Amino acid sequence: MSETRGLTLAEKVWNDHLVVKGEDGAPDLLYIDLHLVHEVTSPQAFDGLRQAGRPVRRPDLTIATEDHNTPTLGINRPIADLTSRTQIDTLRNNAKEFGVRLHSLGDVEQGIVHVVGPQLGLTMPGITVVCGDSHTSTHGAFGAMAFGIGTSEVEHVLATQTLPLKAFKTMAITVEGTLRPGVTAKDIILAVIAKIGTGGGQGYVLEYRGSAIRSLSMEGRMTVCNMSIEAGARAGMVAPDQITYDYLEGRPHAPAGADWHEAVAYWDTLQTDDDAVFDAEVFLDADALEPFVTWGTNPGQGVSLSENVPDPSTIIDANDRANAERALEYMALTANTPMKEIAVDAVFMGSCTNSRIEDLRAFASVIKGQKKADNVRVMVVPGSARVRIEAEAEGIDRIVEEFGAEWRFAGCSMCLGMNPDQLAPGERCASTSNRNFEGRQGKGGRTHLVSPLVAAATAIRGTLSSPWDLEQAPEPDTTDGPATTDGPATTDGPATTDGPATTDELATTAPKAV
Amino acid sequence: MEAVSVITGIAAPLKRSNVDTDQIIPAVFLKRVTKTGFEDALFSGWRQDPEFVLNQPAFAGAKVLVAGPDFGTGSSREHAVWALRDFGFAAVLSSRFGDIFRGNSGKQGLLAAQLAEADIESIWAAIDAEPGREITVDLLSKTVSVGSLTVPFDIDDYTRWRLLEGLDDIGLTLRSEAEITDFESRRQGWRPKTLPVK
């Protein structure tokens, strides 16, 4: 870092958390403002504290919730799976023993850890946030430095409220232009990952910039930052602005009174300086973006929905080619098949990527008044108990149930299938989650990553589709604009409920395993 | 943590790229609350396949995994490192690692050595020529040797030092107790607090 040039957002936040500057190759010691804890990656960390006789240094900067293992049905009954129940009980006992605030299943603040933090106003600009979960990058949407850590690091933060960290490089991801209706934050990030690859961000903190990012809502920005890890980056950030402040102000733990004014004055200084230099830069044209979908078994293997399954024989790099061949075999797809001809068995609407109220509104805006395709099971899982309550107040639960979909309780659910919400072997799913790895949603399950709007249109047609494919396509309530609170946009002219929009598309509907 | 310096043992080639931590250990195994006993879970999605490299008799008892690029991407689960360690691996070689996985490895005494992709392929060729042969990963000289082939690897100096010394991170950090307390005394009032509950 040179003395003469300005600083990036990431460098400013880093510098303001330096407890000890590392010398002779040692890492810097950074202070951690907020530590989020859940049941899966914490038991061994608390055990370590117990063995060493150490307390949690700052219970007042620590908060826990139950999300990965929790059932999304029958939440008042004891958890059926004994190992899951033990893990939840272990968290409850640890929280009690160490004085950590915990929101348990059934609590109004329970939910996916990355939905709960922002919802409570604990996530804010200019802070450091860690959690034993790689999707902690979500919180970077506020201009926080937020990243996932392993269990040894969880123990380290519990014990010391700091982390030794090596300096990172910075990458600007600039997205200029205006998204077309039907194209959302999810499509931006899937396109970014397809462009730079699953290793492209390794060693970097990403900063998302440009007019298309600036016009995203906070929830859209969270979707983008959430999947930074899928590009290999531990953290992704967006500089705070009025949209950030408007979202945050008045939330339970947001600063208030004089603290609010002091905070905003500081947050306004966090913008990347004009003369700052990024170590790498990537550009994306928002105008040209279409709904995006993955075809393979890593999140970088994606194309526009209007394209075909790629042909591995055209891939020059031998490793990438072998990887693509393996992926197509696992996904039971044939090269050059139009993506829109791929039929699904399931649609999953949820996960820390897309389970907030705007996501649910977007999904509901497309399915309202429709019936789901036969033979497709559709599960809608709100990100938190509070999101569920908010959605029910807007009538989204009724829209979902009249559509023929399941309305569930909050949790990570089928994103990773630690609870009973799993795909059966060979089942194909359009999923608003973040990982299409082999077996991620259940052993032998096949995942296509999509936006909430694509998930909704796919649930209607039974084949991978976007609202553009629906007859009299409604103007979708996209997640990148201010969301309406009075329900979905389509009050007249719903698309037909019994089939795809055009006869030629109907004629080419393919069997689900090609 | 036990100190690590020179590792000699059978090397198993894992000729796949993008082996994410969901492949190393699927989520269903993350429900356990212990830190050991994950050897059965390692690569469980692939272990039923008799052709899978770790099922081949020549690689029984392997201590070094020679993997394709982008090993350990995805989820932060440290269970991936525990499963490799419990299975018997002491080192993993790859041309590129997931950042969180590499960090987790260093904290658990698993040596994650980064090699040039061409050198990984040379090592694969040497193993193919004589499956089950031993390999030496030397943290002192930062080299990997198999037969007459010796190639360098990268690891950051700090992680190397900690591995060589077998040092515990928390103990090291607590040497800076005064600096941490001083930092806390300067922490602004607007910064988040989870307690009291509002």
Residues in B touching A51 (Cβ below 8 Å): none
Phi–psi pair at B33, nearest 5 degrees: -105, 10
Q: pLDDT band for position A475 (50/70/90)? A: low
Nearest to B106 by CA among B171, B159, B36: B159
Residues in A touching B170 (Cβ below 8 Å): 52, 54, 155-156, 159-160
Mean pLDDT across chain B: 96
pLDDT score of A490: 37
Q: Which two tokens stand for residue A100?
A: 């950590």
Average confidence (pLDDT) over B21-26: 96
Residues in A touching B20 (Cβ below 8 Å): 298, 435, 437
**What's the pLDDT tens digit per position in A59-97?**
999 999 999 999 999 999 999 999 999 999 999 999 999
**What's the pLDDT tens digit per position in B113-163?**
999 999 999 999 999 999 999 999 999 999 999 999 999 999 999 999 999
What domains, with CATH codes, occur in chain A? 9-282 (3.30.499.10), 292-507 (3.30.499.10)
Strand bridging mode A169-176 / A204-209: parallel
Average confidence (pLDDT) over A479-489: 41
Contact A253 B198 (CB under 8 A): yes
pLDDT score of A477: 57
- Res A281 pLDDT > 50: yes
- B45: distance to nearest CA of chain A, Å? 8
Q: pLDDT band for position A256 (50/70/90)? A: very high
Q: Could you check whether the bond before residue A382 is cis, i.e. omega within 30 degrees of 0?
A: no
pTM of structure:
0.91
Nearest to B43 by CA among A443, A299, A133: A443
**What's the pLDDT tens digit per position in A43-52?**
999 999 998 9
- Res A472 pLDDT > 70: no
- Res B91 pLDDT > 50: yes
Of B105 and B168, the structure prediction assigns the larger pLDDT to: B105
Mean pLDDT across chain A: 92
**What's the pLDDT tens digit per position in B149-186?**
999 999 999 999 999 999 889 989 999 999 999 999 99
Q: Does ipTM surpass 0.95 in this model?
A: no
Q: pLDDT band for position A252 (50/70/90)? A: very high
Is B25 strand, coil or helix? coil
Angle between helices A43-52 and A82-98 (to 10 degrees): 40
Q: Tell me if chain B has a CB within 8 Å of the CB of A330.
A: no
Number of other residues whose CB lies within 10 A of the CB of residue B35: 19
Residue A474 burial class via C-beta count within 10 angstroms: exposed 0-12, middle 13-18, buried 19 and up? buried
The percent of residues in chain B predicted with pLDDT above 70, rounded, is: 100
Amino acid at site A227 = M
**What's the pLDDT tens digit per position in A346-365?**
999 999 999 999 999 999 99
Between the two ends of chain B, the Cα-to-Cα distance in Å is 41
Q: Tell me if chain A has a CB within 8 Å of the CB of B192.
A: yes
How many CA atoms does the CB half-sphere of A185 hold within 13 Å?
Answer: 36
Query: What is the SS3 string spanning A127-192?
Result: CEEEECCHHHHHHHHHCCEEEECCHHHHHHHHHHCEEEECCCEEEEEEEECCCCCCCCHHHHHHHH
**Chain A, nearest residue to B179 by Cα:** A19
pLDDT score of A442: 95
- Res A508 pLDDT > 70: no
- Res A31 pLDDT > 70: yes
Phi–psi pair at B14, nearest 5 degrees: -115, 90
Q: pLDDT band for position B2 (50/70/90)? A: confident
Phi–psi pair at B182, nearest 5 degrees: -65, -45
Q: pLDDT band for position A486 (50/70/90)? A: very low
Q: How many CB pairs under 8 A join A and B?
A: 209
pLDDT score of B1: 78
The whole-angstrom distance between residue A471's C-alpha and the CA centroid of its chain comes to: 30
Q: Tell me if chain A has a CB within 8 Å of the CB of B175.
A: no
User: Which chain A residues in 154-193 lie under 8 Å from chain B, judged by CB atoms?
Assistant: 155-156, 159-162, 164, 166
pLDDT score of B46: 95
Amino acid at site A292 = F
Phi–psi pair at B169, nearest 5 degrees: -60, -45
Contact A62 B194 (CB under 8 A): yes
What domains, with CATH codes, occur in chain B? 6-168 (3.20.19.10)
Average confidence (pLDDT) over A362-374: 98
pLDDT score of A24: 84
- A63: distance to nearest CA of chain B, Å? 6
Q: Which two tokens stand for residue A286?
A: 């928002």
